[in-house]
Amino acid sequence: MGPMYYIGLDVHKQKISYCVKDSSGCIHSDGWIPATRHDLDCWMKNLPRPWSAAMEATMFTSWIYDHLKPHATALKVAHPLMLRAIAAAKKKNDRIDANKICDCLRCDFLPECYMAPTAIRERRRTLRYRNLLVRQLVQMKIKISTLLMEAGVSYNKQKLHKAGYFRELLASNPDINESLRSLLRQCREMVVRLSKMEAALIQSLQQDRLLVERVERLMSIPAIGPITALTWALEIGEVRRFSSIKKAISYCGLCGAEKSSGDTVRRTPLSKQRNKHLQTTLIEAANMAPRYSPTLALLYDREKQKGNANRATLAVARKLVAYLMAVDRGQTHFFVIDQETRTAA
């Protein structure tokens, strides 16, 4: 095998800037190519071999990564927040960015981030699309309430989105004129359509052969339903990439950042460097968890007595992460040892 060549890629929507260097740092070639599969294939035919490449994580990285992976000796994705050398540069353009990414790869200074397997990323895309549908569904429900309030129509808040009550409200309330009735019907049709789409997506993921056993194990944990289990499985990917529970908690955004200098130590609120999908889902699960688990209820009450309900919810969420990690690593169901303590074996 000949000497290794290193390639830095600066990826954008319409073009990809590249820089190819040998192990000594001499530039073999640089330039840019259109961001299409055909142009990537033509470009790879002229590359010296063997070669390894690196690129920054962007929304365009996934398909390029999958397309180059079979041809590269090694292919890495850089964490965008860690590439300070590029962000802090006085002169910055695509050619320089590709050059610096190439140097980071060549000198083994690249801040590599995790790239989930293709199968996981495809299913994660489906789950995140479901999250979009849920946000739109909530917006439509709020819009129905807003339209009724704007017209001064009295309604039962708990029953408003039930089909029978909604039909009766439109048919019998004299304060709803024809114009308002038309808008309300359109909103209701959208709610029904979005609900069916959301249910179909969740059902398809729950029945997926890649996920069904893993999701079933995770759902054996108290307060872990199908949405939390699917979110954990698809956002975490391979659970063994976390060497400790603390690192998983940090990834889920359930702890604050620390800034220390000399004898001064300052802790900030919850860090923004997190997986926002996991953070939101786990916080929602933690709000419900004390109702389903005596152990988590005791934990919540103990933390709440210290004077902060939000911190109590965070403590429960961290405990759920510990449960999820144990079940996922051990690949076994969560079971009860006695009436007071639950654990994962």
Residue whose tokens read 């698809």: 234
| Four-CA torsion 317, 321, 327, 330, nearest 10 degrees | -160
pLDDT of residue 336: 59
% pLDDT > 90, the chain: 84
pLDDT of residue 319: 95
Q: Which of 73-82, 89-98, 194-203 has the highest mean pLDDT?
A: 194-203
pLDDT, tens digit (0-9, with 9 covering 90-100), for 305-341: 988 899 999 999 999 999 999 999 999 999 755 444 4
Ranking 99-108, 150-159, 250-259 by mean pLDDT, the lowest is 250-259
pLDDT at 258 over 80: no
Collapsed DSSP state (helix, strand, coil) of residue 117:
coil
pLDDT at 260 over 90: no
Tokens of 148: 């009724």
pLDDT band at 82 (very low <50, low <70, confident <90, very high): confident
pLDDT at 90 over 90: no
pLDDT of residue 242: 94
% pLDDT > 70, the chain: 96
In sequence order, the 6+-apart residues with CB closer than 8 A to the CB of 331 are 217
Backbone angles phi, psi at 273, to 5 degrees: -85, 90
pLDDT of residue 340: 44
Residue 109 burial class via C-beta count within 10 angstroms: exposed 0-12, middle 13-18, buried 19 and up: exposed
Ranking 16-20, 192-196, 254-258 by mean pLDDT, the lowest is 254-258
pLDDT of residue 261: 72
pLDDT at 138 over 50: yes
pLDDT of residue 87: 66
pLDDT of residue 85: 67
pLDDT of residue 1: 60
pLDDT, tens digit (0-9, with 9 covering 90-100), for 226-235: 999 999 999 9
pLDDT, tens digit (0-9, with 9 covering 90-100), for 113-128: 999 999 999 999 999 9
Q: What is the overall mean pLDDT for the chain?
A: 91
Backbone angles phi, psi at 214, to 5 degrees: -65, -45
The total of other beta-carbon atoms located within 10 Å of residue 246's CB is: 13
pLDDT, tens digit (0-9, with 9 covering 90-100), for 143-197: 999 999 999 999 999 999 999 999 999 999 999 999 999 999 999 999 999 999 9
Give the closest residue to 144 by CA, choosing from 183, 192, 193: 183
pLDDT, tens digit (0-9, with 9 covering 90-100), for 206-218: 999 999 999 999 9
pLDDT band at 47 (very low <50, low <70, confident <90, very high): very high
| Four-CA torsion 198, 200, 205, 208, nearest 10 degrees | 180
pLDDT of residue 343: 44
